[in-house]
Amino acid sequence: MAIIANLVRAQSRGVRKLSATQGAITGTGAITTGLTSIDTGGAVATGANSATTIPTNLATITSISGGTVNIAVVAAAAGANTISGVAENVNVIATGLGGA
């Protein structure tokens, strides 16, 4: 699991956690955050850079189900932007409930 912090919440309605996860996505796929649910507006996905290169594809969230973020990787081209056939390392940062 990739949960890296507990977030303090007023009125103790549950323990909020912060998850930072990375996975390789080719075209469309999913990254499991380790959370049981993700807050509304509580997830961000982006292509991962390396020490020497920046991403050439765009990662976009298509939906969220429980603690899983579904992602489409789009080729950043001058013409029509199509679903990429090349694997992209994608980082997901999410806040929500549950997990370890």
> From the CB of residue 90, how many other CB atoms can be counted at a distance below 10 Å?
24
Give me the CATH number covering residue 72.
2.60.40
Q: Helices in the chain by DSSP H: which ranges?
A: none
Find out whether 95 and 42 touch, Cβ atoms under 8 Å.
Answer: yes
Read off the pLDDT of each residue in 39-59 and give the average, rounded to a whole number: 87
Buried b (16+ CB within 10 A) or exposed e, 15-49: ebbbbebebebebebbbebbbebbeeebbebebee
Residue 11 — pLDDT band, cuts 50, 70, 90?
A: very low
pTM as predicted: 0.79
| pLDDT tens digits, 19-29 | 999 999 999 99
Tally of domains within the chain? 1
Decide which of 77 and 21 is more confident.
21
- Boundaries of domain holding 21: 3-97
